[in-house]
A and B are shown apart, each in its own frame.
Chain A
């Protein structure tokens, strides 16, 4: 037995030392581009329709392997998570996405 806590998951970035020396770049990149807006709209529509909860979406985003998590853009992660969830639930077929 050990008292050591498991290492934090990829998305759990609070206090993560690897970003200690990375400057926060204040920028005005809001609103997102059209890609981001479409993904965001899908999230809201699917959420309202009862096909997806915010926690289900988060689980799928957090399941993205670490190297990919940091390589993908923000709304790309959302798209990966949401589309994987809809395949998992049988709403769309995996073949349709390939």
Chain B
């Protein structure tokens, strides 16, 4: 688990913000506006992109070709965000996303990264023993499905396009989106109908 910041860190933050404000670099209002804007991004955006790709072949092609454009098509601003790649799961390949060096994550479409994504254990093990890591989520892949682990970087972010679960024939995009969790978008879990 993440621990609460030390008193020393809290004091450093207060002094640092005060110094930046005194220098005219930023204002408290700007910080509040920025927090509100960041809070609006959530995995629901990625889930809606996946559900639309499951129901709209043209959108699916766009999503796989240029994730950033596909996000913009859903009304998400990708200004200043690194390019977004989307990894298509198939009957033969399952994708898992990690950032071994830190925590690079497609925040514009998934929101803040969860604690475990930033943890040393996930970063170290996802590339070494991905199936063991998946098992900790209760995710077991059928025999014959390869696992491809992809490293997100500061310059290029990744998201998974999971397979549409069986038993969802005739569902509309809204209902389908409710199956797509944050963990499924990173690849540690599979959507279940």
- A residues engaging B (CB < 8 A)? 11-20, 22-33, 35-42, 44-49, 51, 54-55, 58, 61, 70, 72-76, 79-80, 82-83, 86, 91-93, 96-98
B61 surroundings in chain A (CB, below 8 A): none
Contact B127 A92 (CB under 8 A): no
Q: Which B1-45 residues have C-beta < 8 A from chain A?
A: 1-6, 9-10, 12-13, 15-20, 22-23, 25-26, 30-31, 34-35, 38-39
Smallest CB–CB gap between A82 and chain B, Å? 8
Given A16-B120, A31-B111, A76-B5, also A97-B15 (CB < 8 A): yes
A54 surroundings in chain B (CB, below 8 A): 154
Q: Most chain-A CB neighbours within 10 Å: which of B12, B122, B124, B154?
A: B124
Given A12-B100, A18-B124, A46-B25, also A37-B38 (CB < 8 A): yes
The reply on B131 being an interface residue by CB < 8 A is no
The reply on B133 being an interface residue by CB < 8 A is yes
- B residues engaging A (CB < 8 A)? 1-6, 9-10, 12-13, 15-20, 22-23, 25-26, 30-31, 34-35, 38-39, 80, 98, 100-103, 111-116, 118-125, 127-129, 133, 136-137, 151, 154, 182-183, 188
C-alpha gap A73/B115 in the complex (Å): 10
C-alpha gap A76/B16 in the complex (Å): 13
For B122, the closest partner residue in chain A by CB is: A24
Given A14-B100, A31-B39, A76-B6, also A19-B121 (CB < 8 A): yes
For A12, the closest partner residue in chain B by CB is: B101
Given contacts A14-B127, A24-B125, A98-B15, 5 further A-B contacts (CB under 8 A): A19-B124, A24-B119, A30-B111, A37-B35, A46-B26
Contact partner, B114, options A14, A27, A44, A48, Cβ 8 Å? A27
Smallest CB–CB gap between A13 and chain B, Å? 4
Contact partner, B124, options A13, A83, A93, Cβ 8 Å? A13
Contact B123 A14 (CB under 8 A): yes
Smallest CB–CB gap between B188 and chain A, Å? 8
B114 surroundings in chain A (CB, below 8 A): 27-30
A75 surroundings in chain B (CB, below 8 A): 5
C-alpha gap A22/B127 in the complex (Å): 14
